[in-house]
Amino acid sequence: MKKKIFLAFCFLILNIISNKISSQDITLPTPDRTGGKPLMQALNERQSVRTFTKDNLTLQQMSDLLWAAWGINRPDQKKRTAPSARNVQEIDVYVALPTGLYLYDGSSHILKQIHNRDIRNLCGTQDFVATAPLDLVYVADMGKLGKKEGDEIKDSDLLWSYANTGFIAQNVYLYCASANLGCVIRGMVPKEKLAPEMGLRKNQVITLSQTIGIPAK
């Protein structure tokens, strides 16, 4: 019996190592790709919301939200729910939760923990940002566009990355409208303070941030 438990434990550890899943990562449930409100109704209800209850989203809501935002919808081609110029897919979606900062890994549909500090207060300059349950931070990995650390990154280099971010953010708006959640996309982000707290390289650029929560009545 003891031997069996020991072998099961070894198997679990090996599995964790081989999948590079750390115990702090959040494995999201399978997203629900059906249902929701009809598209025209979701468009009719899309709006920016800035007052939220303190309630957290459920794991299923987080799963559906992230899949709608930037999940893989055609696994055979590794393509996603939002378009990206030349299919470079340089936008990374970071998730700031009370339990820490995570990176959304679309291919395994996992939130990979970056660290366990609550940095929501740095994700925006408006008061609700620090207390809403979840902030998404969109980051353009300019390394995927050939920029090395230390290379100059001009505003014009970021035009497509801002457009690509907009498509993801609109997916989030429509999911939120469909799921009776609230959100707001934000450009007012203290990027100089936030980037080091996220451990970003110099060739990773924060584009926008988006707060999500349950709307206060």
Ligand X SMILES: Cc1cc2nc3c(=O)[nH]c(=O)nc-3n(C[C@H](O)[C@H](O)[C@H](O)COP(=O)(O)O)c2cc1C
- Residues near ligand X (CB under 6 A) are 47-48, 50, 126, 184-188
Smallest distance, Å, CB 8 to ligand X? Answer: 50
Indicate the residue among 52 and 110 with the shorter CB distance to ligand X: 52
User: Which stretch of DSSP H or E encloses residue 93?
Assistant: strand 91-97
Joined together, the tokens standing for residue 68 give: 């709608």
Smallest distance, Å, CB 47 to ligand X? Answer: 4
Please check whether residue 50 is in contact with residue 212, taking contact to mean a CB–CB distance below 8 angstroms: no
Indicate the residue among 35 and 187 with the shorter CB distance to ligand X: 187
| Beta strand pairing call for 79-80 and 204-213 | unpaired
Indicate the residue among 36 and 190 with the shorter CB distance to ligand X: 190
Cβ neighbours for 175, distance < 8 A, ≥ 6 positions apart: 36, 64, 65, 68, 69, 181
Smallest distance, Å, CB 133 to ligand X? Answer: 17
Indicate the residue among 82 and 185 with the shorter CB distance to ligand X: 185
For the chain, what's the residue count? Answer: 217
118: phi then psi, degrees, rounded to nearest 5: -85, 105
The C-alpha atoms of residue 91 and residue 70 are separated, in whole angstroms, by: 9
Smallest distance, Å, CB 201 to ligand X? Answer: 24
